Structure 1
């Protein structure tokens, strides 16, 4: 009987980790295909640009900042293109464009070619993210979107972990050929992503699915930049996304500069975060089914993030192993807050967007990630390294304020805004 029960539970556990067969699984496979290449790219790109391309670190940082600034601006019109021309074809073309942009890094030598290639890469990546969200909206019902996005986030983390391992092999080799192989792998991964996306059924342009006349879309309805409630929600979400550079920059600097904890803890906390998201993001998103439950999830994430920041702050000035214990507890709280905030923001980003402009609105909402990645290092360095414990508490308070402000902003958005009417769903009482 126990063997039968275990056999019955195995498919259930698998179904929680793998999306259902059909378009959802194909979308996850596309996510996995390019995230492996991206993982290898992320861990090797800084040394490639400095050691192989021959750029100074400051110039690399400047070039990438310029590139992502351009990408964040272009993401909105590319999302609009996906709405008007169809998201599948747009996503395939942008995946191919990303592949070519990554491949161009193999031959650039010099600052100006590097900036041009980086701008092409950031533009294609930003547009691809928006087109994928529009494609998801066209293939998956509203009730299933947040759950699928949780699956995709888990898949992304799995792919990044595998890719980071491959990138680590290149770092260990330390040769130009190893770095070039990593970039070729990333370019190939986006070619594979484009091929996988072609397996999905064609999706009509958003205005056709929503039953909106073409003239209505073209003729005078204000765009997302005129939707002030949605802009406020995006801004608040951007504040909450300042936690993104914590693992890669804020916590490593804090451990090195302010605590007695061993430096290997940085890697351990990264593995803890990645593994937790892979295993629990889907479960964490299961209770988020509408605007009300999404708002509550975001609000809870602010409370948990404040607690996380307070625990991190306590790790200064204590013995090494006490610091290790406190930093581990803080990291657990941080990843719980991350998963709650992610689930809530995914739901809100779709629920508050007009049905005929999902790509455009997702392109705008996605700029929050770019802004957080661009400004986050400056903010976190000033707060955590410069101010120490008060900086942690200020960061936690800022997160809490943004999470609680999300409720009034969502009520403003659902009450009706200056854009075309949104397709509203009844909010279940959770």
Structure 2
């Protein structure tokens, strides 16, 4: 029951996220009238503040109970999205972007702490995979709705979908309230123990490097296709469909095979190898658009392996009374990838061509290989190796 409610809440807010991802840049540029440089800077600052806030908000979930904190942060996200409707200049845009990034990052940490409290340890990765598959389905549905607003291109259309985005987080908050209340705990040790846990920090850093795959399909590959290939424009839609459909259909199946730290580390290592293969095939795409399809298949397989391995590692290494702050810290990898990934990957790939793709792939394979030694340093589950 709890896993189903968590998935439904994820579906609700992921529909809103899909709307936001598709329409936000056009809304801020065409309706609000902000220059592209200010949009990029404001969103970067927002996710940067969110990354810093993730750990203390996760700690708050540990101390006050993850359900209540998750509900409050879902409401705060709804308020942030609604506030975007009233932004007319750069300074308010930055403030709202910081609220949005903080609420989103904290909500993710609180939601993972809630999952850890309600689900047996052996089932956490599987349930997390269900949520991820649901998330991708919601993103696809939200993107379709956002596409309608883009087609209309009117102020009213954009305002309507942003209002829908805000409503989706209100619905998610209501669904989270249906979950059992989780007793708050008083974490042992220092207030933010995760900041002193060097092995976990290393694991988080490696995962952040692996997450640099995130801007590939949304930014780097489209720019690569436009600059270096003669592929038809519909190929990009096919690549996105392969990615979202693959995760929706197969993420749970992949996660079921990950049981314990040994399996999780091996999954991350295989993800690095597959990402290297994807980069090699992407480099071949000027010789035929079919290479793009093959590369996308390799990439989504790597993505699912990385996700399953990362979830298992994060849940297992985190002490039960500090799941919130540990998940908040681990989740900073997403914010780091969103901030630095576009700059690093566009510089390597668009500036370096084939060599850039090979360097990018090497980065992934080295990071994947480093995960197992990093996990061993934690000393957790030593008998499983």
Q: TM-score range by the shorter chain?
A: over 0.9
Report the CA distance shift for 1:276/1:229 in structure 2 as closer, same or farther (over 3 A): same
Between the aligned partners of 2:379 and 2:74, the Cα distance in structure 1 is 34
Q: What's the secondary structure of 1:107's corresponding residue?
A: coil
- Show the counterpart of 1:186: 165
**Given the alignment, which residue of 338, 341, 348 partners 1:376?**
341
Measure how far apart 1:414 and its partner are.
2.3
Q: Residues 214-262 of structure 1, C-alpha deviation per residue, up to 9 Å, x if partnerless?
A: 4x63x64662111100000000001100001001011111111111211
Q: Residues 127-158 of structure 1, C-alpha deviation per residue, up to 9 Å, x if partnerless?
A: 10000000000000110011011111110000
- Show the counterpart of 2:175: 196
Give the greater-gyration-radius structure (CA). 1
Is 2:275 the counterpart of 1:310?
A: no
Is 2:94 the counterpart of 1:115?
A: yes
Report the CA distance shift for 1:264/1:227 in structure 2 as closer, same or farther (over 3 A): same
- Show the counterpart of 2:216: 246
Between the aligned partners of 1:295 and 1:68, the Cα distance in structure 2 is 28
Between the aligned partners of 1:225 and 1:73, the Cα distance in structure 2 is 12
- Show the counterpart of 1:344: 309
- Show the counterpart of 1:14: none
Is 2:337 the counterpart of 1:355?
A: no
Between the aligned partners of 1:426 and 1:150, the Cα distance in structure 2 is 26
Calculate the TM-score normalised by the size of structure 1: 0.88
Between the aligned partners of 2:118 and 2:210, the Cα distance in structure 1 is 29
- Show the counterpart of 1:144: 123
Q: What's the secondary structure of 1:199's corresponding residue?
A: coil
Calculate the TM-score normalised by the size of structure 2: 0.98
Measure how far apart 1:425 and its partner are.
9.2
Between the aligned partners of 2:151 and 2:382, the Cα distance in structure 1 is 52
Is 2:242 the counterpart of 1:272?
A: yes
Between the aligned partners of 1:33 and 1:265, the Cα distance in structure 2 is 29
Q: Residues 59-118 of structure 1, C-alpha deviation per residue, up to 9 Å, x if partnerless?
A: 000001111100100111000000000000000011011111111011111110111111
Is the 1:63–1:114 Cα contact (8 Å) retained in structure 2?
yes
Is the 1:352–1:414 Cα contact (8 Å) retained in structure 2?
no
Is 2:75 the counterpart of 1:64?
A: no
Between the aligned partners of 1:26 and 1:348, the Cα distance in structure 2 is 24
Q: What's the secondary structure of 1:356's corresponding residue?
A: helix
Q: Residues 192-223 of structure 1, C-alpha deviation per residue, up to 9 Å, x if partnerless?
A: 00000000000112x3xxxxxx4x63x64662
Q: Residues 349-400 of structure 1, C-alpha deviation per residue, up to 9 Å, x if partnerless?
A: 1111111100001001000000001111101111111000001111111101
Report the CA distance shift for 1:177/1:425 in structure 2 as closer, same or farther (over 3 A): farther
**Given the alignment, which residue of 143, 155, 158 partners 2:137?**
158
Between the aligned partners of 1:62 and 1:331, the Cα distance in structure 2 is 29
Between the aligned partners of 1:303 and 1:173, the Cα distance in structure 2 is 43
Measure how far apart 1:308 and its partner are.
1.0
- Show the counterpart of 1:100: 79
Q: What's the secondary structure of 2:110's corresponding residue?
A: helix
- Show the counterpart of 1:224: 194
Equivalences for residues 254-333 of structure 1 within 5 A = 254-316=224-286, 318=287, 323-333=288-298
Between the aligned partners of 2:165 and 2:230, the Cα distance in structure 1 is 37
The CA RMSD measured in Å over matched residues stands at: 1.3
Is 2:45 the counterpart of 1:75?
A: no
- Show the counterpart of 1:6: none
Is the 2:376–2:382 Cα contact (8 Å) retained in structure 1?
no
Between the aligned partners of 1:411 and 1:268, the Cα distance in structure 2 is 39
Report the CA distance shift for 1:425/1:94 in structure 2 as closer, same or farther (over 3 A): farther
Between the aligned partners of 2:109 and 2:295, the Cα distance in structure 1 is 32
Between the aligned partners of 2:151 and 2:274, the Cα distance in structure 1 is 38
Is the 1:306–1:400 Cα contact (8 Å) retained in structure 2?
yes
Between the aligned partners of 1:97 and 1:220, the Cα distance in structure 2 is 28
Between the aligned partners of 2:237 and 2:198, the Cα distance in structure 1 is 41
- Show the counterpart of 1:236: 206
Report the CA distance shift for 1:46/1:102 in structure 2 as closer, same or farther (over 3 A): same
Equivalences for residues 198-217 of structure 1 within 5 A = 198-205=177-184, 207=185, 214=186, 217=188
Between the aligned partners of 1:312 and 1:177, the Cα distance in structure 2 is 39
Q: Which protein is richer in helix relative to its size?
A: 2
Runs of 4+ in 1 over 2 A off after TM superposition: 219-222, 424-427
